[in-house]
Every structure is written in structure tokens, then in C-alpha cells.
């Protein structure tokens, strides 16, 4: 089979995998996250506890904060599933297997953090940061909320240009894309940073470094595809930061 035919077949396979396979996976994740919100007994117990035990209000506020954080993640999963279903075929679909495999590994790299508990004891001992007290609890929560808000806003502006795999689609310059070319990946980095602060163990930091490396590799593959096939993208690369905003934007020549 010719190279052109192989690329065409990979593009068709990737499109249907995104539209039905990955959309179903994110919908399944969303259904699991929605269960706590449907537990009316849990809501009733919380309200009764707060009404009769004022000292438990701090615990109740933490519970509500967790619901808000998980609610943002639930909204993210639902929106991803929806956008994958309604996505249009990309003008330039994935050309190589790495355009499919690397995004998959990056997207689901968070599952690797579940392996931290099976690593040796020395890798699970918090030793990489001094005790942070309340800051070690509040700061990770704030970073996670900021990450989810940033990722959701990126999805809203991408709309049907959103894709999991490396593809060349319509260039988006509005919203968070005014400041960085990959705001969703900035959200991923913020989540990893939050985990590294909350659990400063060698295991979490190593797994976090791997997740960030996969995210960076994914972004580089997308940059190469977009700069080659999307008009104006090379110029946009000179104006904005890749994952982190630039302190000073270059003036257009």
C-alpha cells in the first residue's frame, strides 16, 4: 500500500476513533463524576450537619469546594465528549502513528498517577518540599480550579476545531489563545503542579515530569503540523507563547 493510501486510512481511522471511541470514553468519565451530585441523601446529611453543628462548617466548605472542582471537571468531560461527536473532518488529518499515540498517552497520562502507590516506600515519602501547612492545601486547590476554568474556556473558543489527535484545523486567536497557543496544555501543567505540591514525593514528581514531557512533545507535533498547513500560524508562533504567556509580545514587523 502506498504512503498516501496509508495516510488516508490513518486519517479515516483517527476521525472515527475520536468521534465515537474517545467521545464515549469521556462521556463514561462524566457519568462517573456526576454520581455524587445525584446523591440526594448526601446533600441532606450535609445540610443537617451544617445546621446543627456550626463547627463542622469548615469541613462542609471543603466538601463544597471539592464539588465545585469536580463540577468543573465534569463540565470539561461533557464538553469534550460533545465536541468530539460534532467535530468536522480535519483539512489535514494525522499523518503518522505518533500523531495518534502521543496525544492518547498525553491525554490519559493522569491515570499513571494511580501507580504511585505501588512504587517502593522511598518513592512515596514526602521529602521534596518543606511543610507548607494550610498553603499546601489551598494552593493546589486554587491551581486545579484555575486549570479547569482555563481548559473549559479554551474548549468554548475552539468549538468544532477541537481535536485530540494531531491535526491541522482552523486557527483560533480569541479568548485564552490571545496569550498562549496551547492554553489547555497550560491547564494540564497547572494540574500536575498542584499534584506535586499536594504530594511532594519522588513518585509524584517523576510521574508529573513524564506527563509534562508528553504534553510538550504533543504540542511540538501540533506546532509542526499547524505551521506547515495552517495559514498564519507561523506568524502567530512569533507573537505568542507556546504553553506559558510571554512577558513581552514581539511587535509585528
Query: Any idea what the CATH number is for the domain that residue 87 is in?
Result: 1.20.120.1630
Question: What pLDDT sits at residue 234?
Answer: 87
- The answer on pLDDT for 1 being more than 50 is no
Q: What's the number of CA atoms in the CB half-sphere (13 Å) around residue 124?
A: 9
Instruction: State CA 6 to chain mean position distance.
Output: 30
Distance between start and end Cα atoms, the chain: 46
Residue 28 belongs to some domain of the structure: yes
- The answer on pLDDT for 94 being more than 90 is yes
Residue 67 belongs to some domain of the structure: yes
Count of structural domains, the chain? 1
Calpha distance 207→234 (Å, rounded): 32
Residue 244 belongs to some domain of the structure: no
Least confident of 34-38, 146-150, 202-206, 232-236: 34-38
Q: pLDDT tens, 63-79? A: 666 677 788 888 999 99
pLDDT band at residue 27 using 50, 70 and 90 as cut-offs: very high
- The answer on pLDDT for 54 being more than 60 is no
Q: pLDDT tens, 112-136? A: 888 777 878 878 887 777 777 777 7
Least confident of 77-86, 196-205, 217-226: 196-205
Cα-flanking dihedrals φ and ψ of residue 119, to 5°? -85, 165
Q: What is the mean pLDDT of the segment spanning 136-156?
A: 90
Residue 20 belongs to some domain of the structure: yes
- The answer on pLDDT for 57 being more than 70 is no
Question: What pLDDT sits at residue 63?
Answer: 62
Rg, C-alpha atoms of the chain: 21
- The answer on pLDDT for 160 being more than 50 is yes
Residue 247 belongs to some domain of the structure: no
Calpha distance 172→187 (Å, rounded): 17
Residue 253 belongs to some domain of the structure: no
pTM of the model: 0.86
What mean pLDDT value characterizes the chain? Answer: 85
Question: What pLDDT sits at residue 52?
Answer: 62
Range of the domain at 201: 3-239
Question: What pLDDT sits at residue 11?
Answer: 86
Looking at per-residue pLDDT, the higher value among 226 and 42 belongs to 226
**Residue 184: other Cβ atoms inside 10 A:** 23
Residue 229 belongs to some domain of the structure: yes
- The answer on pLDDT for 188 being more than 50 is yes
Q: pLDDT > 90: what percent of the chain?
A: 43
Residue 41 belongs to some domain of the structure: yes
- The answer on pLDDT for 180 being more than 50 is yes
Q: How far is CA 32 from CA 17, 28, 152, in A?
A: 21, 6, 19
Q: What is the mean pLDDT of the segment spanning 159-171?
A: 90
Q: What is the mean pLDDT of the segment spanning 95-120?
A: 88
* Closest C-alpha to 156, from 175, 135, 129: 175
- The answer on pLDDT for 59 being more than 70 is no
Amino acid at each position: 500500500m502506498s504512503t498516501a493510501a496509508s495516510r488516508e486510512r490513518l486519517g479515516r481511522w483517527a476521525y472515527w476513533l475520536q468521534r465515537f471511541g474517545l467521545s464515549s470514553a469521556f462521556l463514561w468519565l462524566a457519568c462517573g463524576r456526576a454520581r455524587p451530585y445525584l446523591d440526594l441523601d448526601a446533600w441532606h446529611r450535609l445540610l443537617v450537619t451544617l445546621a446543627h453543628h456550626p463547627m463542622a462548617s469548615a469541613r462542609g466548605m471543603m466538601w463544597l469546594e471539592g464539588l465545585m472542582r469536580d463540577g468543573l471537571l465534569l463540565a470539561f468531560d461533557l464538553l469534550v465528549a460533545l465536541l468530539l461527536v460534532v467535530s468536522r473532518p480535519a483539512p489535514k488529518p494525522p499523518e503518522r502513528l505518533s500523531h495518534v499515540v502521543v496525544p492518547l498517552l498525553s491525554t490519559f497520562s493522569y491515570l499513571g498517577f494511580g501507580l504511585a502507590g505501588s512504587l517502593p516506600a522511598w518513592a512515596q515519602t514526602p521529602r521534596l518540599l518543606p511543610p507548607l501547612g494550610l498553603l499546601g492545601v489551598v494552593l493546589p486547590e486554587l491551581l486545579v480550579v484555575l486549570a479547569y476554568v482555563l481548559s473549559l474556556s479554551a474548549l468554548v473558543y475552539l468549538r468544532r476545531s477541537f481535536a485530540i489527535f494531531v491535526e491541522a484545523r482552523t486557527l483560533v486567536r480569541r479568548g485564552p489563545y490571545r496569550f498562549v497557543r496551547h492554553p489547555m496544555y497550560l491547564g494540564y501543567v497547572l494540574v500536575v503542579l498542584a499534584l506535586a505540591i499536594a504530594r511532594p514525593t519522588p513518585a509524584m514528581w517523576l510521574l508529573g515530569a513524564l506527563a509534562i514531557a508528553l504534553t510538550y512533545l504533543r504540542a511540538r507535533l501540533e506546532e509542526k503540523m499547524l505551521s506547515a498547513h495552517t495559514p498564519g500560524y507561523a506568524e502567530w508562533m512569533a507573537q505568542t507563547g507556546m504553553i506559558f504567556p510571554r512577558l513581552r509580545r514581539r511587535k509585528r514587523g
